[in-house]
Copies of this chain bind each other. A is one copy, B any other.
Amino acid sequence: MLLSNTCIYGLRASVLLASKHGDKFVTIRELSEELNISFHFLTKVLQQLTKSEILQSYKGPNGGVKLAKKASEITFMDVVISIDGNNIMKECALGMPVCSELKPCPLHDQWTAMKGNILNMMNTVSLDQLAANRHTDTLYNSYIAHARKE
């Protein structure tokens, strides 16, 4: 919708790699099974990330892929750009006929603010943050409390 399917696969695999936080190579087979993505397709996607030097790969026995840098140094945006290119969110999703800097449509301010938020979050959130399961007891409990009500 916002990101291509392919890109989401790449993100998921990258986050999974980050969560394994080892310096060992992980086989794409293992990733594909854990993520339930076709091995062959995931291979293609990860080849792209390897080309972009986000991942490092190694062939042969004990080979596989791993992050090329520390998970804290790879942003969400790095992966997105590698796969979906850097036009993400450049054009407006609304594309109203009156659209221009001089004649913005009524949604413009809100839209550009949201766009900024999304881009900002993509640029600042790193793989390690995504890998960290941020769920807290507080949230968990409030969810349980909510679930109990029904």
Q: Which residues of B contact A35 (CB under 8 A)?
A: 97
Q: Map CB proximity to B onto A115-132 as digits: 1 under 8 Å, 0 otherwise.
A: 001100100010001111
Question: Size range of the interface on A?
Answer: 35 or more
Within 8 Å by CB of A89, from B1, B101, B130, lies: B1
Interface residues of A in 84-107 (CB under 8 A from B): 88-89, 91, 93-98, 101-107
The minimal Cβ–Cβ distance linking A31 to chain B, given in whole angstroms, is 10
Interchain CA distance A117-B101 in the complex, whole Å: 22
Quick check: B134 and A104 within 8 Å, CB to CB? Answer: yes
The secondary structure that dominates the A interface is loop
Interface residues of A in 10-68 (CB under 8 A from B): 11-12, 15-16, 35
Interchain CA distance A91-B125 in the complex, whole Å: 20
Q: Which residues of B contact A95 (CB under 8 A)?
A: 8, 11-12
The listed residue with most B CB atoms (<10 A of its CB), out of A88, A98, A140, is A98
Q: Which residues of B contact A114 (CB under 8 A)?
A: 114, 117-118
A residues near B (Cβ < 8 Å) are 1-3, 8, 11-12, 15-16, 35, 76, 88-89, 91, 93-98, 101-107, 110, 114, 117-118, 121, 125, 129-135, 139-140, 143
